Each structure stands twice: as C-alpha cells, then as structure tokens.
Amino acid sequence: MTQKLVSRLIEAIANSIIANAEVLTTLDQAIGDGDHGANMRRGAKALKTQCDEISSLEFAAALKKAGTAIVMTVGGASGPLYGSALLGMAKAASGVPKNAKEASVVVRAGIDAVKARGKSDAGAKTMLDVLVPVQSEIESGSSIARIRTVAEESLEATKPMLAKKGRAAFLGERSIGHADPGAKSAALIVHAICDVLEAQ
C-alpha cells in the first residue's frame, strides 16, 4: 500500500512540475534568476527515474531517498530547501501517517527543516508562505478542498509581498506585484498531493 501511494505521489508531483516548468521559469525571470523551472524539472525527472527504487522502501526511508535525490540533482537553492523538507519529514515519520493529526506533525517537521535551511519564515515571499498555512489547515483537520483553496490563496497573497530572501530580495520593492516562484512550486506540489489523496 505504501509502495503504491509513494509511486503515485512521485508521479503526480513530478508530472505537475514538469508540465509547469515554463510557468515557474517565467515567474522566476520576473523576480529571480530564471532557473527555478529548469532546476525543479531536473529534480522531478530524477524522482521519476528513481521512482521504483524509492517506492520499494518503507515510508520514512522513501522520504529520505527522495530528499537526497532532490538535493543532489536540483542545483539551485530550491534543491536543499525541498530536499531538507523531505529529509526533515523522514526524521519525523514512522509509517504512512494514519490521520490528519499525524500528517500535520510530519509536515511540520519538514517545514521546520526548510525554515532552518533557508534561515527564513512565512512573510518573506517564499515557499513557506504556502507551506505554513497549508500545514495549519492539515493540523486543524480541514478538507482537501479547503487545503487546495488555502494553497491557491496563499500563493496569490505572495504577490503584494516584499521579497526578503533569495535573489528576489535584491529587487527590493520591485519584487512587489509578482507571485513568488517558490510559492508557486509549493502550491503545485500541494495540489498534486491533494489529487492523489482524493483518488484514494
């Protein structure tokens, strides 16, 4: 059961990232260095290549293996950030979370790892501006539909924000008015996970 779930999650997340790589690149060209799409696509392809091997593992080991694959292949700052999220989740997970409460603990551990790696928090116009509110929804037992909405609203909410981290921070006030590419990739991942869970 774990095997099927993990391989479905990898397929859904990787396919969504690959399909939207150009969108991520366009967003990143506006306020960053324009490599987010290409970097994320490289990570997604590595996950697909290693899908069988990763999904043959226990859940926590699968998270760790996927995190390592991302760290070693992505090449931009998003590699260590998403990689650390998976490695952080791997440390907190025992098996597949059995309910929303358990899932929220695992996701929180992943988010804490991103905060530590990026020396950042919500409010700096980053992926955390999507991940943090989504985690709160999971923790309070919200429906999948609600989680999707919050991911989308949180992504939109990054537009008026002033970037404080990464290359976008160099732009200062010029970063205002554009959605954050990391928040966009985070929202894509959240939606892909929701797709898989809804189809269960």
Residues that bind another protein (CB under 8 A): 33, 35, 38-39, 42, 71-81, 83-84, 117-118, 166-167
Length of the chain: 200
Nearest distance in Å: CB 156, another protein = 24
Cβ-based nearer residue to another protein, 104 or 120 = 120
Which is nearer to another protein, 69 or 130 (by Cβ)? 69
Which of residues 59 and 82 has its CB atom nearest to another protein in the complex? 82
- 77 vs 109 by CB, closer to another protein: 77
Instruction: Give the nearest distance from C-beta 146 to another protein in angstroms.
Output: 32
